[in-house]
């Protein structure tokens, strides 16, 4: 395997604390961007190498958990003789103390609120623990189905897939098996080597226990779900396992069959092994580790999408200047400002800041002097989220390499400690922060996208980002509504889970972390933010095409209007300065009016814009003391409106046939734009003619273009789904990480 620093977060956190203690500037502190890049590269290295992950109790990281959980990497226990000796010592220590007549919780006593019971039948006690926890609700197999009762309810259509709604996803289970094995490998739990290896062998052969989704309060760890892993290795025939290649639907087999396939003999649990397997935070930590990895990637993506939004809305990069961030030196804000500034490098669409314009330019600048809050305060909004994500990442990384069992074996100290490391509040704390972060990011992106859609906010983009006339095309309106739904759900999901704790288990577990519930809902929030981000990226690519098409058209229109005006006999007697002033004033009125008339169809829009430019001509004529007859004005309006419309249609036809915004884009925006347009094959949306059921191909649409063949057309939902799929598979994040690594 490549030499990767698996103990990433612990080393980094120690460095951070040392730097703070010694008064170092925060340039020495951790960077969210660098963390994301480092973890992505670690994941790529592990998945590329394909070698089994060697666990030793202290070297599992977030990316290695993701590699095992989501990308099928195997795991095995280290062959280090010292580690194996330590494990054997732990087992021997418990056996020796028991032989001397000592009593320990969960080894010779009952469990939880029933710990006042005593027994010396230690092996049966561990079986009783498993029996007690095998209480989750799971799909019935064919052997368990009730015989037909001839009731009208014998046949029914389910509300959802039983395995999807009742069982933990395979990826989460695989992560759980890795983390549980790693925790046991620390030598504090009196777990036998063959027990640990049995769990890891099942993992490596992709034999995944079927575990109930609900039922854990993550108080004494995730007892119920972990009991199903223990049930498999003891060969419980009523515990099921998913088996078979992932290229086809997997089959459900019994635990004895799974052990036979894996070449494992059923394990007889030792005096403390039931507790060792069940008593821990491994399920919630697995789910949380996968979540924090995705959340970090979404946070990095959100900064790139913000930079694209600045370009699409003709915003300014001034908001992200280092001086602003340094004057309020929160490290998250400073990092975000640095990131977005670099993502905007090379852009030809950002407008100059007011401070960069001469006085005459400032006076002539229309619209707001500064961008609205969703862009202008993006770094102040994102910055605290990056700080929260770093803390959440630290909490999960520490948990990955912790002993969360009870009681704990201290062989060197010669003691058994009774405590509560199973209380997973650190995981809950991390997940509550992550869900809040996801909601804040979603709200920002939704607000930015709202500006794209609204012609009075978008600096000249058409309503709903339509590429044709707005009277018969509403391209992104449905997407806009969908995004409102997404952000509403995100807002609900951001509510804390931990304030819903209920007293449980004979009041013994009167406080409990609910970590697994918190982590599960964090994944739901990741799902929803991924939907929103995919839709927003689709809208941004559309907006960038429309903006570039607009820029190209306006550059030609400026020349066309100047030529028409200069060629008119009525304006030949103007002085040169007067004519220059006239051109400038006409252009100012035309551009403003074209923006204001964005909701009109093209013929009416250009007619309206030229009519609104007449006051500039009248004022100039008065200043030059020249009489301009109404007939001349009328002719000028008709000529300019007709030629402008013709120019616009020609420009649209030319651009729509080969849309390419890249010459105008910053490097980061260009990379994402090209990924969407070229790699994913998601094209510029041309309007009503792209509707799959609009049967005009190969006829001409209303702009004189040849339409795509019917089989090439897709719904907007399909296009966004392609982006979403690339995001969830990780392909899109390869582009994000490459861009984030360029500075």
Residue 107 dihedral angles phi and psi, to the nearest 5°: -110, -40
- The span from the CA of 294 to the CA of 85, in Å, is 37
Task: Tell me the average pLDDT across 186-215.
Answer: 97
Pick the CATH number of 8-140+159-280 from 1.10.10.10, 1.10.275.10, 3.40.220.10, 1.10.10.60: 1.10.275.10
> What is the pLDDT, as a whole number, of residue 19?
40
> What is the pLDDT, as a whole number, of residue 669?
98
Residue 645: which H helix or E strand, with range?
helix 630-657
Contacts of 663 (CB under 8 A, 6+ apart): 348, 548
Share of the chain above pLDDT 90, in %: 80
- The span from the CA of 698 to the CA of 115, in Å, is 79
Fold of 549-645: Enzyme I; Chain A, domain 2 (1.10.274)
Q: Is the pLDDT of residue 563 over 50?
A: yes
Q: Measuring CA to CA, which residue among 310, 304, 301 is closest to residue 448?
A: 310
pLDDT bucket at 711, cuts 50 / 70 / 90? low
Compute, in degrees rounded to 10, the torsion defined by CA atoms 467, 471, 477, 478. Answer: -110
Q: Is the pLDDT of residue 569 over 90?
A: no
> What is the pLDDT, as a whole number, of residue 701?
53
- The span from the CA of 390 to the CA of 287, in Å, is 17
- The span from the CA of 365 to the CA of 369, in Å, is 8
Q: Rounded to 5 degrees, what angle do the CA atoms 570, 571, 576 make?
A: 160
The predicted-structure confidence for 546-560, as pLDDT tens digits, reads as follows 999 999 999 999 999
Residues 460 and 595: beta-carbon distance below 8 Å: yes
Q: Is the pLDDT of residue 26 over 50?
A: no
Assigned token pair, 355: 């401070």
Compute, in degrees rounded to 10, the torsion defined by CA atoms 272, 273, 275, 277. Answer: 160
> What is the pLDDT, as a whole number, of residue 647?
97
Neighbour-count burial of 364, counting CB atoms closer than 10 A to its CB (0-12 exposed, 13-18 middle, 19+ buried): exposed
Contacts of 8 (CB under 8 A, 6+ apart): 35, 38, 39, 42, 61, 62, 397
Neighbour-count burial of 502, counting CB atoms closer than 10 A to its CB (0-12 exposed, 13-18 middle, 19+ buried): exposed
The pTM of the full predicted model, rounded to 2 decimals, is 0.92
> What is the pLDDT, as a whole number, of residue 468?
95
624 vs 226, more confident: 226
- The span from the CA of 402 to the CA of 192, in Å, is 18
Contacts of 615 (CB under 8 A, 6+ apart): 589
Task: Tell me the average pLDDT across 460-468.
Answer: 96
The predicted-structure confidence for 372-418, as pLDDT tens digits, reads as follows 999 999 999 999 999 999 999 999 999 999 999 999 999 999 999 99
Q: For tokens 């000529």, what's the residue?
A: 639
> What is the pLDDT, as a whole number, of residue 9?
41
The predicted-structure confidence for 122-139, as pLDDT tens digits, reads as follows 999 999 999 999 999 999
Assigned token pair, 606: 């250009």
Among positive and negative, which fits the CA dihedral 440, 661, 481, 456? positive
Q: Is 509 helix (H, G, I), strand (E, B) or coil?
A: strand
Domains 8-140+159-280 and 549-645 share a fold: no
Q: Is the pLDDT of residue 7 over 70?
A: no
pLDDT bucket at 11, cuts 50 / 70 / 90? very low
Selecting among 71, 105, 163, 373, the annotated active-site residue is: 105
Q: For tokens 């020796």, what's the residue?
A: 96
Cis peptide upstream of residue 272 (ω within 30 degrees of 0): no
> What is the pLDDT, as a whole number, of residue 366?
58
pLDDT bucket at 505, cuts 50 / 70 / 90? confident
What count of other Cβ atoms lies within 10 Å of the Cβ of residue 263?
A: 8
Contacts of 436 (CB under 8 A, 6+ apart): 388, 494
Averaged pLDDT of the chain: 91
Q: Is 733 a catalytic residue?
A: no
> What is the pLDDT, as a whole number, of residue 16?
40
For residue 56, the Cα-to-chain-centroid distance in whole angstroms is 31
Assigned token pair, 567: 């060629």
- The span from the CA of 448 to the CA of 673, in Å, is 17
Assigned token pair, 329: 């030196």
- The span from the CA of 338 to the CA of 378, in Å, is 12
Residue 215 dihedral angles phi and psi, to the nearest 5°: 130, -10
- The span from the CA of 194 to the CA of 516, in Å, is 28
Question: What's the Cα-to-Cα distance from 127 to each of 87, 116, 190, 227, 548, rounded to whole Å?
Answer: 22, 18, 16, 10, 69
pLDDT bucket at 633, cuts 50 / 70 / 90? very high
Task: Tell me the average pLDDT across 220-243.
Answer: 97
Strands 415-417 vs 408-410: parallel, antiparallel or unpaired: antiparallel
Range scoring the smallest mean pLDDT among 239-243, 425-429, 698-702: 698-702
**For the chain, which residues make up each domain, given as ranges?**
8-140+159-280, 549-645
Task: Tell me the average pLDDT across 578-599.
Answer: 94
Residue 482: which H helix or E strand, with range?
helix 477-493
Q: Is the pLDDT of residue 276 over 60?
A: yes
Q: Is the pLDDT of residue 644 over 50?
A: yes
Residues in the chain: 743
The predicted-structure confidence for 330-377, as pLDDT tens digits, reads as follows 999 999 999 999 999 999 999 987 666 554 554 555 567 899 999 999
- The span from the CA of 167 to the CA of 656, in Å, is 48
Q: Measuring CA to CA, which residue among 202, 192, 203 is closest to residue 60?
A: 203
Query: What is the spatial order of strands in the sheet that 240-243 belongs to?
Result: 208-209, 240-243, 251-254
Q: For tokens 């989750």, what's the residue?
A: 136
The predicted-structure confidence for 89-101, as pLDDT tens digits, reads as follows 999 999 999 999 9
Maximum separation of any 2 CA atoms in the chain, in Å:
118
Q: Is the pLDDT of residue 21 over 50?
A: no
């Amino acid at each position: 395997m490549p030499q990767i620093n698996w103990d990433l977060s612990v080393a980094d956190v120690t460095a951070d604390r040392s730097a703070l203690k010694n008064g170092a500037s925060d340039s020495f502190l951790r960077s969210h961007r660098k963390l994301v890049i480092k973890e992505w590269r670690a994941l790529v290295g592990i998945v590329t190498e394909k070698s089994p992950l060697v666990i030793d109790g202290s070297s599992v990281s977030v990316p290695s958990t993701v590699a095992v959980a989501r990308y099928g990497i195997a795991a095995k226990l280290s062959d280090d003789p010292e580690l194996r000796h330590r494990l054997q010592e732990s087992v021997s220590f418990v056996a020796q103390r028991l032989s001397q007549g000592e009593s320990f919780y969960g080894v010779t006593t009952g469990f939880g609120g029933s710990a006042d019971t005593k027994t010396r039948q230690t092996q049966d006690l561990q079986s009783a623990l498993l029996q007690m926890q095998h209480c989750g609700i799971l799909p019935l197999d064919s052997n368990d189905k009730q015989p037909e009762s001839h009731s009208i309810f014998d046949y029914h259509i389910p509300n959802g897939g039983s395995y999807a709604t009742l069982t933990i996803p395979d990826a989460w289970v695989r992560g759980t098996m890795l983390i549980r094995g790693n925790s046991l490998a620390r030598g504090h739990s009196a777990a036998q080597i063959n027990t640990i290896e049995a769990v890891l062998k099942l993992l490596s052969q992709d034999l995944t226990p079927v575990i109930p989704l609900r039922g854990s309060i993550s108080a004494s760890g995730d007892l119920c779900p972990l009991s199903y892993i223990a049930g498999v290795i003891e060969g419980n025939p009523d515990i099921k396992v998913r088996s078979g290649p992932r290229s086809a639907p997997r089959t459900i087999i019994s635990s004895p069959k799974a052990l036979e396939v894996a070449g494992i003999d059923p394990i007889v649990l030792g005096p403390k092994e039931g507790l060792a397997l069940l008593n821990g935070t491994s399920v919630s930590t697995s789910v949380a580790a996968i979540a924090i990895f995705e959340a970090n990637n979404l946070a990095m993506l959100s900064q790139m999408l913000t930079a694209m939004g600045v370009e699409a809305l003709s915003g300014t990069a001034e908001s992200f200047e280092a001086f602003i961030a340094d004057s309020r030196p929160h490290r998250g804000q400073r990092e975000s400002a640095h990131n977005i500034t670099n993502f905007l490098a090379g852009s030809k669409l950002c407008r100059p800041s007011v401070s960069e314009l001469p006085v005459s330019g400032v006076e002539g600048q229309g619209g707001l002097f500064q961008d609205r809050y969703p862009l202008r305060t993006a770094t102040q909004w994102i910055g605290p989220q990056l700080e929260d994500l770093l803390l959440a990442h630290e909490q999960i990384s520490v948990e990955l390499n912790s002993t969360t069992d009870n009681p704990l074996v201290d062989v060197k100290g010669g003691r058994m400690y009774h405590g509560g490391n199973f209380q997973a509040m650190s995981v809950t704390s991390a997940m509550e922060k992550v869900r809040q972060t996801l909601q804040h990011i979603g709200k920002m992106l939704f607000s930015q996208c709202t500006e794209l859609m609204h012609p009075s906010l978008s600096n000249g983009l058409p309503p709903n980002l339509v590429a044709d006339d707005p009277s018969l095309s509403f391209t992104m309106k449905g997407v806009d509504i969908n995004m409102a739904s997404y952000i509403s759900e995100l807002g609900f999901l951001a509510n804390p889970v931990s304030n819903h704790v209920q007293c449980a288990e004979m009041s013994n577990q009167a406080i409990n972390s609910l970590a697994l519930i918190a982590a599960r809902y964090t994944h739901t929030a990741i799902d929803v933010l991924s939907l929103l981000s995919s839709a927003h990226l689709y809208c941004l690519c559309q907006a960038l095409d429309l903006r570039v098409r607009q820029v190209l058209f306006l550059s030609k229109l400026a020349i066309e209007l100047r030529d028409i005006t200069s060629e008119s006999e009525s304006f030949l007697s103007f002085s040169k300065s007067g004519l220059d002033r006239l051109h400038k004033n006409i252009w100012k009125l035309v551009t403003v009016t074209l923006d204001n008339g964005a909701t009109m169809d093209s013929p009416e829009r250009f007619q309206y814009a030229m009519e609104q430019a007449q006051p500039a001509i009248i004022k100039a004529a008065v200043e030059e003391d020249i009489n301009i007859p109404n007939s001349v004005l009328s002719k000028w309006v008709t000529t300019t409106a007709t030629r402008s419309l013709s120019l616009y249609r020609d420009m649209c036809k030319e651009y729509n046939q080969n849309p390419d915004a890249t010459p105008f884009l910053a490097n980061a925006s260009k990379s994402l734009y090209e990924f969407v347009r070229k790699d994913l094959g998601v094209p510029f949306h041309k309007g009503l003619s792209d509707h799959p059921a609009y049967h005009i191909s190969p006829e001409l649409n209303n702009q004189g273009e040849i339409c795509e063949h019917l089989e090439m057309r897709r719904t907007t939902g399909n296009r966004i789904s392609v982006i979403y799929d690339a995001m969830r598979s990780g392909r899109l994040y390869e582009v994000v990480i490459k861009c984030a690594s360029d500075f």
